[in-house]
Structure 1
């Protein structure tokens, strides 16, 4: 009986998907995400040029950006590199860091939050005080310090972002785990002799999956923005590897003469972050048991 009650409290995946697809803003966000992912995956075939190849037509001075049009749909940067090609390959960098960093942050946050919420006592107090200590540091400043200590690379940047982004997940899951641990069906499982591993795996974690999914989706937008910020400040992904952040960094001096070099990658970052936020907000609504029956 308790297993049935516990399972009933969890949202049905099929029903949640139907409600998600009924939301126009969520569909818009999904379409943007699919477009960016497709561009990143098929970049080697879609990019008209090598992202690091320099092009000069003999008419423009070397180092002068070429405006959008003709052979260069989005123009070229100050080094004569095709901006469209660099944007497509930069999408790969941004998405890889977004997924990897956010995955690591979710893993760390889940381990800390669930462990602290279930065991509580001295273990829980120590873990949550450490979480509070991490939350006291400004995330951007801490990320800059860590990125400056290590030699910046794609994987180092992903690790650095994960180390500063897990605390919110840990705090949320700690609260939910503490609440679930007091529920009647958990008490019934303990009475029946279920061990800690079984309870956590069969009853606690399934109820946390919707929260993890929502925070994972919302977290990717935060990760993409943080990666772009670090790359813009020169402590993120290093040239010549393209990322949307370092494309802005490299071309900021040409902001007035060639504004497209800043506006295009800036708009891409904005739209991708918006897309994940729209999908994350929709998932939060459709996975919330109190919203069942609503469109």
Structure 2
């Protein structure tokens, strides 16, 4: 890699940031992400109550949840717990699982796709057939089965989601690596005696970084939705640990009489997934070489 190429990196990064800042939807998505991350990080300071604390004044005389307002900003749930505090702490769960599971899936998918795309032959065939086999299983059904087999916990759920979510990344990385392996500069490196590790990690992987960044951003929304689905079905993060999915699960019986208990965590899931999709789409346009020069 030449010094000129290294010197161009800051310039390209500035250009990418400038093009990203020119997209209002991307900025809106970034604002939502920062808002949720800030709320999750500052939950111990911002949350007015302990998320598991049951308040004697948190239920009506009839034993129904309190509506939003007063001491309880978003109302209370069926056990008299403050919904606002549980939403803030639930954001922590969703973000930890979203980032951890997607990061692990990204690493697995990148390694599988990179190896299969570069070596090809029987190694690539075995890895890609295994990838196809994993893609043949419905991801949600496989995740439910795995989560039911193991004792559900935050990190177990993250690993289960990562295990079913790496296949799309592997497919994309395999395709791009196969094309890059045939390029002249890779053939020149082989001729000069460069080792496999140097070619993979010094010459091919840097060209895949834009794709990895985009898929990493878009994948977080998928993992957040999958975690919420598993928690709603009762095989995800278990109570009393708050999660947006299990908040909906616990309060679904009050859907008609206290709809805010379902709509508020549902809206949080929707907005966070939308935010990562908006930022991911913008990054794809900004980092895609075919889009450069069209702005």
TM-score band by shorter chain is over 0.9
What CA RMSD, in Å, does the superposition of the two structures yield over aligned residues? Answer: 2.0
Is 2:230–2:245's contact at 8 Å kept on the other side of the alignment? yes
- Could you tell me which residue of structure 2 aligns to residue 119 of structure 1? 119
After superposition, the C-alpha distances for 1:241-294 in whole angstroms (9 at most, x for unaligned) are 000000000000000000000000000000000000000000000001111133
For residue 8 of structure 1, report the CA deviation from its aligned partner: 7.5
- Could you tell me which residue of structure 2 aligns to residue 53 of structure 1? 53
- Could you tell me which residue of structure 2 aligns to residue 109 of structure 1? 109
Unaligned runs of 5+ in 2: none
Unaligned runs of 5+ in 1: none
For residue 57 of structure 1, report the CA deviation from its aligned partner: 2.1
After superposition, the C-alpha distances for 1:52-83 in whole angstroms (9 at most, x for unaligned) are 11112287237410000000110000000000
After superposition, the C-alpha distances for 1:156-207 in whole angstroms (9 at most, x for unaligned) are 0000000000000000000000000000111111111111111111110000
TM-score (norm 1): 0.96
- Could you tell me which residue of structure 2 aligns to residue 94 of structure 1? 94
- Could you tell me which residue of structure 2 aligns to residue 132 of structure 1? 132
Looking at structure 2, the residues matched to 289 and 70 of structure 1 have their Cα atoms a distance apart, in angstroms, of 53
Is 1:2–1:185's contact at 8 Å kept on the other side of the alignment? no
SS in 2 for 1:57: helix
Off by >6 Å, runs of 4+ in structure 1: 1-11
Looking at structure 1, the residues matched to 277 and 100 of structure 2 have their Cα atoms a distance apart, in angstroms, of 18
Is 2:58–2:65's contact at 8 Å kept on the other side of the alignment? no
User: How many residue pairs are counted as aligned between the two chains?
Assistant: 295
5 Å-filtered alignment, 1:15-164, equals 15-57=15-57, 60-61=60-61, 63-164=63-164
Looking at structure 2, the residues matched to 169 and 6 of structure 1 have their Cα atoms a distance apart, in angstroms, of 27
TM-score (norm 2): 0.96
- Closer/same/farther in 2, CA of residues 58 and 294 from structure 1, 3 Å limit: closer
Is 2:58–2:66's contact at 8 Å kept on the other side of the alignment? no
